[in-house]
Amino acid sequence: MTKPLSGEPALIEALARIFGAAPPEVVLGIGDDCAVLDLGGPDYLLWTVDTLMEGVHFDLGYTTLRQLGRKSLAVNLSDVAAMGGTPRYALLSLAWPKERDTAGALELGQGLAELGREYGVAVIGGDSVAAGGGVAVTVTVLGTAPKGEMVRRAGARAGDRVLVTGPLGEAAAGLEVLKRRLSLEPALREPLCQALLDPRPQLQAGRLLASKRLASAMIDLSDGVATDLYHVCRASGVGARLHGAAIPVSPRVRAVAQILDQDPLDLALKGGEDYQLLFTTPPALAETLDRAFRQAGLPPPLFLGEIIPGDAVLLQTSQGMQEISGAGFNHFRLDLEGGSV
């Protein structure tokens, strides 16, 4: 049983009202992927924190502690990527059950440090506390973004194209494979499990989009397209129309959907934890965008649909049009115990 990280929008908004107005050097507070501070100098400071809880976000039956360490940092780096920033430093707060061998905590630390090295992030502090229940890993990350180059959730305009940096539903399919112990040939199985257990934050793509001003709005896919694109739409005051036929679903995701007798679009659009970047781009920049990605050696962004006036996320398929706004995983709405193991 594993659920993506997911905030409950109504709760977050109520908390934002309680926390009240921020001082002027706070460029962005609650409601984007990172809080953003202007403390002087040429760069903004980006700041994010995420907690992964055993039994909710990971299952140590199929996640190694090294993978957990990597992922606890990766989900934070993905938030920095979503604003076009560069992550710099991380702190770890580890809640560790006393009955667990502390050697495991070091394995987790090794995974964290390893991913940090891969992305140039220094883990500069850490603390451990006793855990009453399972393992809980909180990581907080500081990053930077040049002031003129930051991308927010707000900024999408009607007519913009909706794109994504990679295929969708891989992690959701991986979760089904592991949870239901689906038998699948290794060539299909491995990439799906890796997408779930060891996601790669899209930092290079995020920086490219920000530095070349190619994205009008951006978010990382933690809760699924239906939910995360809805966040972008709400922040930007627009709607979106997705084209079912265009949604990038890999043959391996289709294979899992077929075994489960599910619509592959459900995995692709409502499944969480892809940690790809979802962004919007004015149509006039389409060619520049493709060229920039090609020159950087990155796979070309994949088309999902377009921004429209309104406030809903719509999905156009051969069966017609349906609204899917916010229909991703949401732990406060879905049953945590849902899904057979």
Looking at residues 158 to 217 of the shown chain, list those that interact with a second copy (rule: CB under 8 A).
none
Counting contacts by CB under 8 A, is residue 7 touching a second copy? yes
Provide CB contacts within 8 A for 172, sequence distance 6+. 196, 224, 253, 267, 268, 270, 271, 272, 273, 274
**CB 55 → a second copy: shortest distance, Å?**
3
State which of residues 62, 191, 331, 339 lies at the interface with a second copy (CB under 8 A).
331
CB of 195 to a second copy, least distance (A): 20
Tokens at residue 143, please?
């990053």
Pick between residue 7 and residue 199 the one whose CB is nearest to a second copy: 7
Q: How many CA atoms lie within 13 A of 199 on its CB side?
A: 32
Residues 110-169 that bind a second copy (CB under 8 A): 110, 112-113, 116, 122-134, 136, 138, 140, 142
Interface with a second copy, residue 296, by CB under 8 A: no
Give min distance, CB of 313 to a second copy, in A: 21
Ranges within 26-45 binding a second copy (CB under 8 A): 26, 29-30, 34-35, 37, 39-41, 45
Query: Which lies closer to a second copy via its Cβ, residue 3 or residue 252?
Result: 3
Smallest distance, a second copy to C-beta of residue 25, A: 9
* Residue 20, phi-psi category: left (phi > 0), alpha (psi -120 to 50), beta (remainder): left
Residue 23 interacts with a second copy (CB under 8 A)? yes
Contact 66, 108 (CB under 8 A): yes
Q: Is 298 in the site for a second copy (CB under 8 A)?
A: no
End-to-end CA distance of the chain: 7
In 3D space, the residue among 230, 212, 209, 228 whose CA is nearest the CA of residue 220 turns out to be 228
Our finding on whether 15 is near a second copy (CB under 8 A) is: yes
Residue placing its CB nearer to a second copy in the complex, 53 or 260: 53
Distance of closest approach, residue 182 Cβ to a second copy, in angstroms: 24
Q: What is the edge-to-edge ordering of all strands in the sheet holding 239-243?
A: 217-220, 277-281, 161-164, 302-308, 239-243, 313-317, 320-323
H helix and E strand count, the chain: 10, 13
Radius of gyration, CA atoms only, the chain: 19
CB closer to a second copy, 178 vs 265: 178
Classify 326 in phi/psi space as left (phi over 0), alpha (psi -120 to 50) or beta: left
SS3 label, residue 266: helix
322 binds a second copy per the rule CB under 8 A: no
CB atoms within 10 A of CB 25: 11
Comparing CB distances to a second copy, the nearer of 56 and 168 is 56
Smallest distance from a second copy to CB 24, Å:
11
Single residue of 51, 64, 262, 317 touching a second copy by CB under 8 A: 51
- Contact between 18 and a second copy (CB under 8 A)? yes
Q: Given the DSSP bridges, would you call strands 239-243 and 313-317 parallel, antiparallel or unpaired?
A: parallel
Closer of 143 and 244 to a second copy (Cβ) = 143
Q: Which stretch binds a second copy (CB under 8 A): 94-102, 163-171, 205-213, 226-234?
A: 94-102
Residue 101 makes contact with a second copy by CB under 8 A? no
> In terms of DSSP bridges, do strands 26-28 and 35-37 run parallel, antiparallel, or are they unpaired?
antiparallel
Task: Output the smallest distance, CB 103 to a second copy, in A.
Answer: 9
Please give the residues from 238 up to 267 whose contact with a second copy meets the rule CB under 8 A: none
Measured CA to CA, the distance from residue 330 to residue 332 in angstroms comes to 6
